[in-house]
Structure 1
């Protein structure tokens, strides 16, 4: 995430890579801010969940896709902002999310990306809570046949 603050329009950036929650799960409910992810695995980015699975030629990816398992994976990150941040424009930039990703903030879909190894960003500002309450960023990705890896392979940038 990064922030631009008027009047000097200075960009401030930081890294949001620690303490993400992860689960292999095929449910849209995980996009909601109120979804209970307390039992999910905690990890740091970058992370590739597909290579953690068992290599098997019968997996959906087949031998041409590395014989790795497919499926739907979710990453979630909670963070709080104070009223001091309310005059900032806050964006999230992903250097890559492999593959077929959709991003939500506080239950609102920001967009979908079919490809994995390209950077993209979203403006979070209109959807954020600046009262110290937790904001929840949710990332869903789907790995189908003949796709080799699944995860957030590079860093997610943030600053407030």
Structure 2
């Protein structure tokens, strides 16, 4: 296992065993008995497992995105739009290292709204994830739950004003439930 050479042998054996077990549980069979990079295979299998867990929500998420689509906004080099698919939300959570995947079912059922803020010049690259519940922005964070910049906050404020949403008072966003 060249990719894992820096780890101990027992760690590598456990990782390999976990990769075989996870393949069986997620795919129903072991397709790769000797993966070159068991850690990467485990990460891929975890994404597959998560996608399957939320498959039922995919159609509901697409409907929610259609409902919210008219509230998209573009200004000052930024744009914001609703999350469109479960895969997009999962990819966003993985890229941004945040908990947005935990809101998929709430978004699908209409309990909360998930918005993706991007740079207009690079609309496919994740930037800020925004949660709106009850007409109020509950969360707006960059990757690793870092606070938004002043320019991003101004954009969000303009968007809220245009859509009739409320922004939290004070300089910092607060985590859900805080």
Q: Normalising to structure 2: TM-score of the pair?
A: 0.23
Which structure: greater helix fraction?
2
Structure with the higher fraction of residues in strand conformation: 1
- Larger RCO (alpha carbons 8 Å, 6+ apart): 1
